[in-house]
């Protein structure tokens, strides 16, 4: 299909804020998701790729060719919008065949293509309906079929599922992924939902304040966040900051929140350090061992296969995962408020200072 | 039915009953009477003069509608798509022509396009001529231009509002699917604005179809609308002709009103409101900029020009070609009664229009099956029936039996109330629809009785809507000329009627001075409305 490269792409707004420079490579046939909080520049980036807004600096390359001065309609892009944006004055068929019509396809070829896509998405029975007569989930399928009709080289999806309920959203996620795999079309997907991004993508680019913070597979991002923002945003890590008090043989003694922690790593005495511990690497105990830190128990939430335990560590929230059903029963029954915790030392991730 | 329900029905029935007495009965009686006396319907229709009037009425309305759409449509796109400072002010100003009385517009047009007017003076200066060389303010061009002036803002506002409702992502979808700008316009944008464009065209056609003061002033007695011919027929006591013409007019206007209402319900299906993509002027190419500037000049000359030149009309005497304050002097000495009459009648009419407008609006929103239809029909009637016919009906059925014929001022107030009522009721109804029903339920759940709820919750929330409705009704009443001209004896003349008479005796500065006073009153009314409703008066139409 196409390989997309964003090289130092910058967009400035009249209020002085700006998005970029964004550097990002999307491989041929890859499903890449732009993930970030609202206002981080996901949609702006996507719209610069589509050509709806101009960049003030940098370049946008499709297979090495600069696209900045190419009109959106000549970029061979299929796009699904947040508001679905189906043409209300046409039928479902009219919507899907709009692209082929504009490209001047023959009637037979158009009908064949529309029916092929309708079968692929399971919307054949809807073809003659008006847009006002299709449901939310069906509208998304029509929008996807419309975007794919002229065999675009690149598919852009701008939070297409954000208006749907959870069950429908999960079903359509797998469907989008199935179709993308089948067509091997390069795809850029925008969402603010981490679950959605991780469920659907080959790789995820995390955006913060107009800059790409980290790019990687979901596992890479989860296991080794590159910085504090990613760790906090993904919620995978409990983030702590402290001061290094002792350095000895690859181990640091860190004072954080009036408690001592031992961390493997290097550093200078009296410098600040930020580190993160994933919930499954936090161990909890109700027997209060001597050199463990203590925290207040806030809540226990049962999850599939485990319990999520929320703690308050002198104002810092900590999430721990436990599989110990007996421990949970004891905590629940004796109304104990104080609980001890420690980290699996080898899995602490140093994020910087 | 319990006592409270009965009282409720009485309150709702009261305005409907009054309207039946003051519109339906007089108009029906006059019309029926017409079919038993004077010229018969067939003779009327067969008369070549009447045929000419009917054909002229339709063709001038069609031509005016085409002009208004052609000039208004580009402006609608500009308003919707161009980002510039003072845009909301420009949009608000567009409402001014609606509150300007047609006879005032006539004065402005004479001054802008007429002999020794602004354009004529410039041309005379260029050609070094000492006599008039240019006159567009008469005959067919004058009528069409004045109608265009009135309706361009209507097309502009209705279509630009519809454009602003178009989800920009829909156009972007078409763009990314390969549609060129022209294809987008034809396949996406035009279908989207079509209902509101048609609605604007139907309204424009209706206004022009029933036009009276403008045709009377510019038509030179030859070019007449059906409405003007009805006026003439009553004046020569040919009731048969008047009734036949009234019948033809009602059939046409009611069909148009029906089409308009149908279009309105379809419009509601359109998608959610979204912020539209706008561009600044500097983003356009040179050729496009020239077109835009040319268009703005046209709008300034056609729409702003006649309003602005009313000031010149009040001090420039085209007969003597001098500047003078005689107009004001004469108006405020011999003609001071006109202003007093205007304010007195319009003030009373406004009061009645509001008092009747509230129960009418409640009736329109009531849940019963027949009451809302009945109420909205009653409100639409004054818009669809010739005001000259209403005036004649009132004189014949109310004034004569009550012996009011020597001083028919109460009939003028009734006529002006009828003219203003659709506007006050509509504004109040819009305000009602905006009240969150949860607030009313909250009042109920806190134990408020129905009267308490009305007095302490609903009416305070409605106050801005009632004020806007009242001001709108006032502007309509004080500018009303057709019915007032028919009813008024010299001692009852209002400013609007006085302007018509001044023009008739070629007292142009007096007409100009009176027009300027009316403009000032209307502009103040407009500013008050703007202030209260913070830019949402467009909905009152």
Contact A88 B270 (CB under 8 A): yes
Residue B361: is it exposed, middle or buried by C-beta count within 10 angstroms (0-12/13-18/19+)? buried
* pLDDT bucket at A353, cuts 50 / 70 / 90: low
Nearest beta carbon to residue A73 from set B169, B178, B272: B178
Q: Pick A178 or B442 by higher pLDDT.
A: A178
* Encoded tokens for A1: 């299909």
Q: Which H or E run includes A254?
A: strand A251-256
Average pLDDT of the residues of chain A: 90
Residue of A nearest to B280 (CA): A14
Please indicate if any CB of chain A lies within 8 Å of the CB of B274: yes
Predicted pLDDT at B46? 87
Question: Is A102's Cβ below 8 Å from some Cβ in B?
Answer: yes
Phi-psi region of B10 (alpha: psi -120 to 50; beta: other; left: phi over 0): alpha
**Span B220-244, mean pLDDT?**
88
Between the alpha carbon of residue B271 and those of residues A127, A257, B513, the distances in Å are 20, 54, 48
Best CA proximity match to B382, nearest among B34, B12, B19: B19
- What pLDDT does residue B265 have? 54
Task: Supply the pLDDT for residue B534.
Answer: 62
Burial of B490 (0-12, 13-18, 19+ CB in 10 A): exposed
Task: Tell which residue, B229, B323, B295, B285, has the closest CA to residue B75.
Answer: B295
DSSP annotation of A281 reads G
Q: What distance in Å separates the CA atoms of residue A100 and residue A92, rounded to the nearest whole number?
A: 14
Contact A73 B272 (CB under 8 A): no
What's residue A117's pLDDT? 94
**Please, are residues B300 and B152 in contact by the beta-carbon 8 Å criterion?**
no
Spatial distance between the Cα atoms of B436 and B429, rounded to a whole number of angstroms = 13
CB within 8 Å: A83 and B272: yes
Looking at the complex, does the CB of residue B180 fall below 8 Å from at least one CB of chain A? yes
At B272 the pLDDT is 39
Burial of B333 by CB count in 10 Å (0-12 exposed, 13-18 middle, 19+ buried)?
exposed
Any residues with CB less than 8 A from the CB of A182 and at least 6 apart, and which?
Answer: A120
Inter-chain CB proximity B173 and A77 less than 8 Å: no
Rg of chain A's alpha carbons, rounded to an integer? 25
A310: left (phi over 0), alpha (psi -120 to 50) or beta: beta
pLDDT band at B264 (very low <50, low <70, confident <90, very high): low
Whether A204 and A197 have beta carbons less than 8 Å apart is answered as: yes
Give yes or no for a contact between A112 and A74, defined as CB atoms under 8 angstroms apart. no
Separation in Å, CA of A7 to nearest CA in chain B = 22
**A150 near B CB under 8 A:** yes
How large is the average pLDDT for residues B25-44? Answer: 81
Indicate if the pLDDT at residue B541 is higher than 60.
no
Q: Taking the domains of chain A in order of start, what are their residue ranges?
A: 4-233, 239-352
CB contact under 8 A, B179 and A83: no
| Selection from A95, A130, A100 nearest residue A112 by Cα | A100
Question: What's the CATH number for A239-352?
Answer: 2.40.50.140
Higher pLDDT, B236 or B88: B236
pLDDT at B118 over 90: no
User: Is B176 in Cβ contact with A87 (below 8 Å)?
Assistant: no
Q: Give the pLDDT mean for B321-328.
A: 85
Mutate which of A43, A71, A102 to disrupt the B interface (most B C-beta within 10 Å)? Answer: A102
- pLDDT bucket at A111, cuts 50 / 70 / 90: very high
Q: Is A225 on the interface with B (CB under 8 A)?
A: no
Residue B267 has pLDDT above 60, yes or no: no
Q: Most A CBs within 10 Å: which of B83, B171, B176, as the mutation test of the A interface?
A: B176
Q: Does B326 touch chain A (CB under 8 A)?
A: no
Could you give the dihedral angle defined by the CA atoms of residues A66, A72, A76 and A77, in that order, rounded to the nearest 10 degrees? 110
B141 contacts chain A (CB < 8 A) = no
Question: How far is CA A210 from its chain centroid?
Answer: 15
- The pairing of strands A282-285 and A338-343 is antiparallel
CB proximity A198 to B under 8 Å? no
* Closest B-chain CA to A70: B176
Q: What are phi and psi of B323, to 5 degrees?
A: -95, 135
- Chain B residue with CA closest to A158: the answer is B169
Q: Which residues of B touch A147 (CB under 8 A)?
A: 177
- Mean pLDDT across the stretch B91-101? 80
| Cβ-defined contact of A85 to B167 (cutoff 8 Å) | yes
Q: Do A83 and B180 touch (CB under 8 A)?
A: no
pLDDT, residue B4, reads: 58
Q: Do B169 and A81 touch (CB under 8 A)?
A: yes
Instruction: Report pLDDT for B175.
Output: 93
**Cβ contacts of residue A326 below 8 Å, gap of 6+?**
none
CB-based contact A73 B172, cutoff 8 Å: no
A117 touches chain B (CB under 8 A): no
* Minimal Cβ distance to A102: which of B169, B183, B192: B183
Which residue shows structure tokens 């009747």? B356
CA distance B394 to B244: 18
C-alpha distance from residue B358 to each of B39, B127, B374, B383, B530 (Å): 42, 59, 15, 19, 21
- pLDDT for the residue numbered B443: 78
Tell me what the mean pLDDT of segment A145-166 comes to. Answer: 92
Are the C-beta atoms of residues B196 and B158 closer than 8 Å to each other?
A: yes
pLDDT of residue B385: 81
Residue B512 in tokens: 């100009």
Q: Which residue of B has its CA nearest to A89?
A: B191
CB contact under 8 A, A79 and B178: no
Mean pLDDT to the nearest integer, B227-235: 89
Q: Does A321 touch chain B (CB under 8 A)?
A: no
- pLDDT classification of B413: cutoffs 50, 70, 90: very high
User: Rounded to whole angstroms, how far apart are CA atoms A73 and B174?
Assistant: 8
How far away is chain A from the Cα of B278, in angstroms, using its nearest Cα?
A: 12
Helices B102-113 and B139-164 pack at an angle, to 10 degrees, of 110
pLDDT band at A86 (very low <50, low <70, confident <90, very high): very high
CA distance B199 to chain A (A): 18
Hey, are the CB atoms on B173 and A89 less than 8 Å from each other? no
Best A79, A114, A149 residue to mutate vs chain B (most B CBs within 10 Å) = A79
Tell me if chain B has a CB within 8 Å of the CB of A13.
no
Mean pLDDT of chain B: 84
Cβ-based neighbours of A58, under 8 Å, separated by 6 or more: A6, A7, A8, A9, A10, A20, A21, A22
Asked whether the whole model's pTM tops 0.90, one would answer: no
Cβ contacts (< 8 Å) between A88 and chain B: which residues?
A: 170, 192, 269-271
Tell whether the model's pLDDT for residue A30 goes beyond 50: yes
Structure confidence at residue B373 (pLDDT): 78
Minimum CA–CA partner of B176 in chain A: A73
pLDDT at position A236: 67
pLDDT of residue A72: 92
- pLDDT of B489 above 80: yes
Q: What percent of chain B has pLDDT over 90?
A: 27
Cα separation values, A209 from A17, A196, A308, B228, Å: 10, 21, 30, 68
Is the pLDDT at B537 greater than 60, yes or no? no
Q: How far is B387 from chain A (nearest CA, A)?
A: 40
Q: What local confidence, expressed as pLDDT, does residue A139 receive?
A: 94
Lowest mean pLDDT segment, chosen from A216-220, B263-267, B460-464? B263-267
Tell me the average pLDDT across A58-68.
92
Alpha helices in B210-325 (DSSP H): 213-218, 226-235, 239-267, 286-299, 305-308, 310-315
Expressed in angstroms, the distance from the first to the final Cα of chain B is 37
DSSP secondary structure of B161-195 = HHHHTS-HHHHHHHHHTT--HHHHIIIIIHHHHHH
Name the residue of chain A whose CA is nearest to B187's CA.
A89
- In A, residues 71-90, which contact B (CB 8 Å cutoff)? 72-75, 77-79, 81-83, 85-89
What is the maximum alpha-carbon separation in chain B?
82
Report the range of poorest mean pLDDT among A196-205, A210-219, B184-193, B298-307: B298-307
**Nearest CB partner across the interface for B191, out of A89, A102, A150:** A89
Q: How far is CA A169 from the centre of its chain?
A: 15
The structural domains of chain B, ordered by start, are 1-33+327-534 (1.10.3720.10), 54-318 (1.10.3720.10)
Size of interface A-B (CB pairs under 8 A): 69
Does an H or E element contain A205, and which?
strand A203-208
Residues from chain B that touch A79, judged by Cβ atoms under 8 A, are: 172-173, 176
Does A137 have pLDDT greater than 70?
yes
Give the per-residue pLDDT at B277. 61
Calculated CA dihedral for residues A314, A318, A323, A326, nearest 10 degrees: 20
Predicted confidence (pLDDT) per residue in A48-57, tens digit: 999 998 888 8
Asked if pLDDT for residue A28 goes beyond 70, the answer is yes
The answer to whether residue B114 scores a pLDDT higher than 80 is yes
The CATH label, of 3.40.50.300, 3.30.70.60, 3.30.200.20, 1.10.630.10, for the domain at A4-233 is 3.40.50.300
pLDDT of residue B270: 45
Q: Determine which helix (DSSP H) or strand (DSSP E) holds A309, and give its type and residue range.
A: strand A306-313
Both tokens of B273, joined, read 């409101």
Q: Do A103 and B180 touch (CB under 8 A)?
A: no
Q: Which of A259-263, B350-354, B493-497 has the lowest mean pLDDT?
A: A259-263
- The predicted model gives B441-454 an average pLDDT of 79
Do the Cβ atoms of A283 and A346 come closer than 8 Å?
no
Does B176 sit within 8 Å of A79, measured CB to CB? yes
- H helices of B37-138, in order, are 41-46, 48-81, 87-93, 96-99, 102-113, 118-127
Residue B35 has pLDDT above 80, yes or no: no
Q: Which of A13, A50, A88 is the best mutation test for B, with the most CBs of B within 10 A? A: A88
Q: CA A265: distance to chain centroid?
A: 30
Q: Taking the C-alpha atoms of B106, B110, B111 and B117 in order, what is their torsion angle to the nearest 10 degrees?
A: 170
Confidence bin at B273 (pLDDT 50/70/90): very low
Closest CA of chain B from A216, distance in Å: 29
What's the rounded mean pLDDT across residues B118-145? 87
Residue B346 has pLDDT above 90, yes or no: yes
Burial readout A216-230 (b: 16 or more C-beta within 10 A, e: otherwise): bebeebbebbbbbbb
Using CA atoms, how far apart are residues B97 and B109, in angstroms rounded to an integer? Answer: 13
High-pLDDT (> 70) share of chain B, %: 95
Q: Is residue B117 helix, strand or coil?
A: coil
Query: Residues near B475 by Cβ (< 8 Å), separated by ≥ 6?
Result: B99, B521, B522, B525, B526
At B278 the pLDDT is 67
Q: Quick one: which H or E segment has residue B377?
A: helix B370-384
CB contact under 8 A, B179 and A78: no
Coil, strand, or helix at residue A320?
strand
């Amino acid at each position: 299909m196409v390989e997309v490269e964003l090289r130092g792409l910058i967009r400035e707004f009249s209020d002085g804020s700006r998005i970029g420079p964004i550097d990002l490579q999307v491989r041929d046939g890859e499903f890449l998701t732009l993930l970030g909080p609202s206002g981080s520049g996901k949609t702006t980036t996507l719209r610069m790729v589509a050509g709806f807004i101009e960049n003030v600096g940098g370049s946008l390359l499709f297979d090495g060719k600069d696209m900045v001065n190419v009109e959106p309609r000549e970029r061979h892009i299929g796009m699904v919008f947040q508001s679905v944006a189906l043409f209300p004055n046409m039928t479902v068929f009219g919507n899907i065949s709009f692209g082929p019509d504009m490209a001047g396809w023959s009637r037979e070829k158009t009908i064949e293509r529309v029916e092929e896509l309708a079968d692929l998405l399971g919307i054949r029975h809807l073809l003659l309906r008006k847009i006002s007569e299709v449901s939310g989930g069906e509208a998304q399928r029509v929008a996807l079929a419309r975007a794919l009709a002229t065999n675009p080289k690149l598919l852009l999806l701008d939070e297409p599922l954000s208006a749907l309920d959870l069950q429908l959203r999960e079903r359509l996620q797998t469907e989008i992924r199935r179709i993308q795999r089948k067509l091997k079309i390069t795809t850029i997907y925008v969402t603010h939902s981490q679950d959605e991004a991780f469920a659907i993508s080959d790789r995820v680019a995390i955006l913060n304040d107009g800059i790409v913070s980290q790019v990687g597979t979901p596992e890479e991002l989860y296991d080794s966040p590159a910085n504090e923002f990613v760790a906090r945003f993904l919620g995978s890590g409990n983030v702590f900051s402290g001061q290094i008090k002792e350095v000895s043989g690859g181990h640091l003694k860190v004072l954080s929140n009036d408690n001592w922690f031992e961390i493997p790593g290097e550093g200078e005495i009296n410098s600040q350090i930020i580190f993160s511990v994933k919930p499954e690497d936090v161990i909890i105990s109700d027997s209060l061992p001597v050199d463990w830190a203590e925290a207040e128990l806030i809540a226990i939430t049962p999850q599939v296969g485990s319990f999520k335990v929320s703690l308050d560590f002198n104002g810092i929230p900590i999430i721990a995962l436990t599989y110990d059903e007996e421990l949970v029963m004891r905590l629940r029954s004796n109304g104990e408020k104080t609980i001890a915790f420690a980290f699996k030392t080898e899995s602490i991730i140093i994020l910087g200072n | 039915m319990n006592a409270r329900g009965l009282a409720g029905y009485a309150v709702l029935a009261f305005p409907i009953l009054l309207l039946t007495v003051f519109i339906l009965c007089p108009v029906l009686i006059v019309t029926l009477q017409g079919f038993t006396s004077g010229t018969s319907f067939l003779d009327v229709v067969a008369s070549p003069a009447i045929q000419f009037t009917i054909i002229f009425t339709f063709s001038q309305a069609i031509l005016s509608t085409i002009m208004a759409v052609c000039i208004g449509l580009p402006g609608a796109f500009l308003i919707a798509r161009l980002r510039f400072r003072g845009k909301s002010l420009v949009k608000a100003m567009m409402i001014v022509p609606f509150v300007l009385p047609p006879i005032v517009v006539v004065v402005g047009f004479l001054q802008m396009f007429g002999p020794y007017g602004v354009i004529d003076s410039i041309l005379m200066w260029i050609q070094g001529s000492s006599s008039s060389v240019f006159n567009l303010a008469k005959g067919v061009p004058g009528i069409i231009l004045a109608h265009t002036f009135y309706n361009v803002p209507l097309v502009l506002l209705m279509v630009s509002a519809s454009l602003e409702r178009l989800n920009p992502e829909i156009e972007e979808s078409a763009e990314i699917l390969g549609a060129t700008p022209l294809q987008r316009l034809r396949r996406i944008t035009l279908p989207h604005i079509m209902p509101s464009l048609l609605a604007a065209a139907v309204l424009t056609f209706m206004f022009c179809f029933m036009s009276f003061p403008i045709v009377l002033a510019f038509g030179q007695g030859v070019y007449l609308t059906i409405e003007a011919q009805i006026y003439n027929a009553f004046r020569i006591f040919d009731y048969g002709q008047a009734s036949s013409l009234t019948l033809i007019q009602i059939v046409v206007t009611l069909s148009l009103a029906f089409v308009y209402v149908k279009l309105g319900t379809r419009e509601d299906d359109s998608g959610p409101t979204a912020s539209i993509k706008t561009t600044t002027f500097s983003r356009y190419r040179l050729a496009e900029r020239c077109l835009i500037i040319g268009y703005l000049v046209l709008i300034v000359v056609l729409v702003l020009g006649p309003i602005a030149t009313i000031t010149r009309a009040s001090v420039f005497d085209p007969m003597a070609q001098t500047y003078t304050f005689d107009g004001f002097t004469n108006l405020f000495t011999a003609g001071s009664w006109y202003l007093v009459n205007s304010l007195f009648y319009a003030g009373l009419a406004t009061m009645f229009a509001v008092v009747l407008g509230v129960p009418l609006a409640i009736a329109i929103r009531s849940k019963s099956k027949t009451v809302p239809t009945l109420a909205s029909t009653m409100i639409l009637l004054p818009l669809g029936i010739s005001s000259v016919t209403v005036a004649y009906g009132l004189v014949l059925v109310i004034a004569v039996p009550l012996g009011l014929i020597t001083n028919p001022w109460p009939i003028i107030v009734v006529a002006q109330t009828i003219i203003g009522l659709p506007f006050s009721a509509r504004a109040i109804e819009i305000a009602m629809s905006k009240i969150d029903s949860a607030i009313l339920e909250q009042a109920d759940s806190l134990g408020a009785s129905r009267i308490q709820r009305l007095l302490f919750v609903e009416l305070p929330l409605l106050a801005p809507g009632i004020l806007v409705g009242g001001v709108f009704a006032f502007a309509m009443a004080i500018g009303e000329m057709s019915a007032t001209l028919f009813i008024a004896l010299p001692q009852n003349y209002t400013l609007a009627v006085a302007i018509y008479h001044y023009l008739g005796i070629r007292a142009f500065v007096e007409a100009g001075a009176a027009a300027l006073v009316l403009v000032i009153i209307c502009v103040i009314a407009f500013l008050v409305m703007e202030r209260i409703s913070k830019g949402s008066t467009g909905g009152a139409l």
